[in-house]
Amino acid sequence: MTNVRDILTKYWGYTSFKPMQEEIINSVLNGKDTVALLPTGGGKSLCFQVPALAMEGICIVVSPLVALMGDQVNALKERGIKALKLTGGISFDELNTLLDNALYGNYKFLYLSPERLQQEIVQNYIKQMNVNLIAVDEAHCISQWGNDFRPAYKNITLLREIHPLIPVIALTATATPEVLEDTISELKMELPAVFKNSFVRENLSYQVFKEEDKLYKAEQLLKTNKGSAIVYVRNRKSTIEISEQLNSLGISATFFHGGISAKEKAQKLQSWRSGTFSTMVATNAFGMGIDHPNVRFVIHLQIPESLESYFQEAGRAGRDGDFATAVLLYNEYDKIYVKQQFVESLPSTSELKKIYRTLNNYFQIPYGEGEFTKHNFGFSEFCKKYNLNTLLAYNALNSLDRLAIIQLSQEFGRKSIVQFLISSEEVLQYFEKDLTASVIGKTILRIYGGIFEMPTSVNLDLIVSKTGQSIETVIAVLRKMERDQVVEMMLQITDATLTFLVPREDDKTINVISREVEALNRKKIAQVNSVLSYIENTKTCRSVQLVSYFGEKIARKCGICSVCRTQNSKLSNREMQHLATKILALLEGGDLSSREISEKLTFAETDILKMLRLLMDADKLKINPKNQYYLN
């Protein structure tokens, strides 16, 4: 067994560990089941990589994050460490070859997803391997109370059955006390050593602002940005629209969402990392496992669904230890919208029974049958056929997936991606030769602006309804256009593949899980309420609010969040008089809004707004219908 500090220096070039890393590593080397609860940027990967290198054999790493697997395997290879990964889309022969390499090739790390672990061939090979450690990354995914629960994570215990004497290390950056307890139980860990570092990020300023013009506020922040930035939005359409708007304002931006191809994701990620684009506008599909230290701003333009997801996404700022800012911008409508989307549309037990029965009827599953049958699934068509509320149906299907009644593929909710490769004049000439292509192609051009400039998410069901053509005809035309190099596309004919995991028993199936359904609904309501409480609490330090949510009771005010800055902003009487004089002098030149006044002065916005109210109370100012201040 090699000295762990020598390993750290040899492969990573560091001479000392981050807080708690060495204690965690020693716990693993002593053969103990270990839990590492470290904040984003706390160095979780070294906690299993270093001890695995110190021992004979191979480390099995289970991770839900394909991007993270790729990043870590590439980083290990660059350091001369033999590592491989089993991802989706590989043939049976290729899988056999990779497993042979892992077994006989003196490899130190084998990364795989929990879904891949379900394959018998994978299990048989792992039985023959000299496994020295089992590492479970993003371990909170095994808890059904965790924010990113994945039913496939339940199968990780297979590794314990195959290698019962090998220690397990569970790693996560976001776990409430309840989730932590459940994670330990689900992984069947035996008296684990639990290492929990403080969640406090001293270099990260959490800021929350109520803004009617959120894009303007984001623009002001991003124009001061000297590094990289992430702007999180709710849906795919918004990623494209907001990135276009930021570019028009002189901020170099690109977009990222779950519907773009793997090749394009890699290209966009590389362009952002290299600084070609300073800002990535993304849905929450971006960021899990993305290790980029130079992120100075993370901006949320909508209210997130939980503090777990917000804390993880915000935590991607400032991983290099330098000062960074996480900003959440909201308005009154956002508060209504987040309740509508995540609370009011939660399926009750009776609604879940209805959706489940409807789903079985849709696929014509006989009573008592259907277990492990797999089906292509068009979500839009399903909702349209039975006149279902799409949001309620979506949440119901996700609940059924979460409770292991069905399994939805990762493609659930995706749309086809299309981009025209030739000029508009050439496209029109092409359409002259084919009437059907003309009808379908021109419909696409009318609906989707920007499809010449960038890959665009296209709803095939919408094209079908607008053109009156069958889905088969639309697909055939698009494929011909692709062969003729008119378009480039990634065709998603169905939204998902759906697998029934239990035989059909209608109401009986749901009755068994009714308590869990109600508990999950209560959990989701509590999560949304926690987010709303966070944004509305302007008295308690933002950092203290967040770390308290994760069970950390002893935390001092950060001094740099939006709450602390407001409380610390106490101008002297002389400074207040100086500010009043400046405002009055500005308004002699004409009427101005509070925003325009703030832009022209170096004082804090909160102090300016406070002085404007005082001047109005003193009848020195009035406000016109355009919300501009003028001298009385």
Residue 43 has a pLDDT of: 86
How would DSSP label each residue in 29-54? HTT--EEEE--TTS-TTHHHHHHHHH
In which band, very low, low, confident or very high, does the pLDDT at 533 lie, cut at 50, 70 and 90?
Answer: very high
Q: Where are the domains of the chain?
A: 4-196, 204-330+537-556, 339-412+496-526, 416-490, 569-631
Give the tokens for residue 165.
């004497």
For residue 481, what are the CA distances in angstroms to 203, 222, 503? 52, 40, 42
pLDDT score of 632: 86
151 or 26: whose pLDDT is higher?
A: 26
Average pLDDT, the chain: 88
Residue 295 forms beta bridges with which residues?
228
Query: Length of the chain in residues, anyone?
Result: 632
Q: Does 466 or 80 have the greater pLDDT score?
A: 80
Retrieve residue 432's tokens.
Answer: 């002259």
State the pLDDT at residue 469.
Answer: 86
Superfamily of domain 4-196: P-loop containing nucleotide triphosphate hydrolases (3.40.50.300)
Within 8 A by CB and 6+ apart from 496, the residues are 376, 377, 379, 408, 409, 411, 412, 413, 414
**pLDDT of 311-333, one tens digit each?**
989 999 998 888 999 999 999 99
pLDDT for 193: 96
What does DSSP assign to residue 166? S
Q: What is the pLDDT of residues 243-283, one digit of tens each?
A: 999 999 999 999 998 777 767 888 898 899 999 999 999 99
% of the chain with per-residue pLDDT over 70: 96
Strands 628-631 and 592-593: antiparallel
Q: pLDDT class for 48, splitting at 50, 70, 90?
A: very high
End-to-end CA gap in the chain: 81
DSSP state of 346: P
Please calculate the CA angle 91-96-98 and round it to the nearest 5 degrees: 95
Pick the more confident residue, 401 or 30: 30
List, as one string, the DSSP characters of 588-621.
TT--EEHHHHHHH--S-HHHHHHHHHHHHHTTSE
- DSSP structure class, residue 373: -
Q: Would you tell me which CATH number, out of the four given (2.60.40.1730, 3.30.70.20, 1.10.10.10, 3.30.930.10), belongs to the domain 339-412+496-526? A: 1.10.10.10
Q: How far apart are CA 613 and CA 171, in angstroms?
A: 50
Q: What is the pTM of this model?
A: 0.72
Our separate counts of H helices and E strands in the chain read: 27, 22
For 96-123, what is the mean pLDDT?
91
H-type helices in 451-561, by residue range?
A: 460-467, 471-483, 507-512, 514-536, 542-549
The predicted structure's pLDDT at residue 115: 78
- Residues linked to residue 133 through DSSP beta bridges, in sequence order: 59
Mean pLDDT of 458-470: 83
pLDDT in tens, 395-405: 999 889 888 89
pLDDT at 1 over 60: no
Domain 204-330+537-556 has CATH 3.40.50.300: yes
Pairing of strands 253-256, 279-282: parallel
Q: What φ, ψ does residue 60 adopt, rounded to 5°?
A: -90, 120
Q: What is the mean pLDDT of residues 423-434?
A: 90
Q: Which helix (H) or strand (E) holds 520?
A: helix 514-536
Top-tier CATH class for 569-631: mainly alpha
Q: Which two tokens stand for residue 435?
A: 């009437």
pLDDT digits (tens, 9 = 90+) for 610-624: 889 889 888 899 988
What does 91-103 look like in DSSP terms, one character per residue? -HHHHHHHHHHHH
Residue 195 sits at the vertex; the CA angle it makes with 191 and 199, to the nearest 5 degrees, is 140
Residue with token string 């379900």: 118
Question: Which residues have a Cβ under 8 Å from the Cβ of 253 and sit 6 or more positions away?
Answer: 231, 242, 243, 246, 247, 277, 278, 279, 280, 281
Contacts of 238 (CB under 8 A, 6+ apart): 281, 301
Please count the CA atoms within 13 angstroms of the CA of 623 that sit on its side-chain side: 12
Higher pLDDT, 566 or 94: 94
* CA atoms of 322 and 295, how far apart (whole Å): 9
Q: How confident is the model at residue 33 (pLDDT cuts 50, 70, 90)?
A: very high
- Which of 185-199, 264-278, 379-393, 444-458 has the weakest average pLDDT? 444-458
Nearest Cα neighbor of 138 from 160, 163, 156 is 156
Residue owning tokens 């889905």: 471
Q: What is the CA radius of gyration of the chain?
A: 27
Distance CA 151, CA 144 (A): 8
**Whole-number Å distance between alpha carbons of 517 and 512:** 10
Q: Which of the two residues, 289 and 333, has the higher pLDDT score?
A: 333
* Inter-residue contact 472 to 508 (CB < 8 Å): no
Q: What percent of the chain has pLDDT over 90?
A: 53
Q: Tens digit of pLDDT for each residue in 538-562?
A: 999 999 999 999 888 877 899 889 8
Residue with the two structure tokens 């990020």? 201
pLDDT bracket for residue 411 (50, 70, 90): low
- For residue 81, pLDDT over 90 is answered with yes
* Under 8 Å between Cβ of 215 and 266: no
Compute the average pLDDT of residues 329-349: 92
Strands 487-490 and 416-420: what pairing? Answer: antiparallel
Reported as a pLDDT band with limits 50, 70 and 90, residue 341 is confident
pLDDT digits (tens, 9 = 90+) for 582-619: 999 999 999 998 888 888 887 777 788 888 988 988 88
Nearest to 220 by CA among 297, 272, 277: 297
Nearest to 583 by CA among 616, 554, 612: 612
Say whether 569-631 and 339-412+496-526 share the same fold.
Answer: yes
The Cα–Cα gap between 149 and 403 comes to 10
What dihedral angle (degrees, nearest 10) is formed by the CA atoms of 217, 218, 219, 222? 130
Task: Please check the confidence at residue 413 and state whether its pLDDT lies above 60.
Answer: no
Tell me which of 361 and 381 has the higher pLDDT. Answer: 361
Backbone angles phi, psi at 130, to 5 degrees: -85, 80
